[in-house]
Each structure stands twice: as C-alpha cells, then as structure tokens.
Amino acid sequence: MDELQRSQAHWPLLLDQLQESLDYRFIHLHWLEEALTHRSYGQPHNERFEFLGDAVLNLLIAQQLFERFPKLDEGSLSRMRASLVRESSLADIGKSLDLGTYVRVGEGERRNQAQARASLLADTFEACLGAIFHDGGMPSAKAFIATRFNAHLDALDPMTLLKDPKTQLQEQLQHHKLPIPHYSVVAQCGQAHAQEFEVCCAVDALDLRALGRGRSKRQAEQAAAAKVLDAWRLSHHIK
C-alpha cells in the first residue's frame, strides 16, 4: 500500500471497502485496524489477533470436519484440518480478499519475496478472523469461515488427503513426470531413548528443498516432504 493510500483521507475508505469484502461490519473499527498492522509498521500490531484467529480457525474447521465425517478417526481428521489451514490455503483466501492492499507494513517487509508475501497474507487473514471473533463473537466468526471455507470443505477428497505427505509428494511428482525426491539425514542428536532427526527433502528438478524434524527418521522425512509440498503449492499452484 503506497503513501497516498495510507493517508488519513484514504484509510477510512479502504477500511469501508474491506468490510464489504469481509461481509462484516465492525462495532470497534480500531480492532480491524490493528489486525491490518504488521509488526514492521508499528504498534499496536496484529500478532495477538493472529494468535486468536489461529485458535478460532482450528476450532471451527475441526467442528466442521467432525460433523461432516463421523466415521473418521482423530488422526485422519487432524490431517484433513492441516490441509485446509496450511499457509498456502490461507494465503489464497487472503489474496481473494485483496488483503495485500490493506495490510500496513514497514518498508523492509515490502521488499520481501513471494514466500514472505504468502506468509504475510496468511497471517493477516488469521488476524482479521481474530478481530471478527473479538468484535462479534463466535457466531460472526463462524459465518465468516463458512463463507470462505464451505467450497473447500465440499471439495475435500478424504482418500487423497489421508495419504501421508511423502506419498502425496511422490504421486504429484510422478503425475508431472518428474524424478522422485531425495531424502538425507543432516543431523541427529539426543540420547538413544530420545533422539531427534533432521532430514532434508530435495526435489532438484524443481529446485525445492526443505528440512523436517522428528523423533524418528520417518517422522522427519514426512515433515520435510510436507514443507516441500507446501512450497510447491505456493510457487506453482498445484492442489
């Protein structure tokens, strides 16, 4: 957002436009302003609202999945929730709301690359949800989430989502006729009964790599594969 948009003359208009997009009118408008303020811009910033929004989002999505899939166990529901609330999904919703136009950031933050941009959009979305919940309570937050997530919930394919990240990554690579990923242990620490592994997952054909940690080599590989999948989704818009 440029200096003109940030001026006192334009800021109220921008807030009004965003409330139209959110389909919610704030009783306490300064909470929306706080939700739109990155810590690089000044105080009060939006990290407290981001914390609140993250908790509300996870609760509401968990409730929806619990009601929609009565036969799935806790682990399956958790994996499905993770697929819905991952950074790339929230960034897409933030982009659809054009949150990048409204969020107030410092000069250094504006120079960041696409990965940071996605994180900024996802965090701002959570902060806006937190502000809506704080301002209007759970009914308002639930209505807002329903508007933004019902299509995603309706399109869920449990058979695909319940595959572990390593399997999903390999299948996506095969679908795009790309070589399989390479996994390597880069660190191992701790006593024999409480070891922690750090594994690198690399997809050279895409110039993507990520580190994952876990109490076992397999767990660390899964964590690394999940990060590579998320990075691929952000940069190439795969599903």
Q: Which two tokens stand for residue 205?
A: 């054909």
Number of Cβ atoms within 10 Å of the Cβ of 38:
20
Helix, strand, or coil (residue 42): coil
Strands 196-203, 208-214: pairing kind: antiparallel
What is the C-alpha separation between 97 and 106, in angstroms, rounded? 21
Please spell the DSSP secondary structure of 124-147, one letter per residue.
HHHHHHHHHHHHHHHHHHHHHHHH
Q: Which two tokens stand for residue 138?
A: 């759970």
Strands 196-203, 182-189: pairing kind: antiparallel
- How would you label 145-180 residue by residue, b for 16+ Cβ within 10 Å and e otherwise? beebbeeebeebebeeebeebbebbeebbeeeeeee
Catalytically annotated residue among 34, 50, 54, 135: 54
What is the C-alpha separation between 27 and 31, in angstroms, rounded? 9
Catalytically annotated residue among 50, 92, 123, 126: 126
230 included as an active-site residue: no
54 included as an active-site residue: yes
How many angstroms separate the Cα of 140 from the Cα of each of 25, 27, 41, 181, 182? 10, 12, 28, 43, 46
Report whether 160 contacts 51 (CB < 8 A). no
Q: Which residues are catalytic?
A: 54, 126
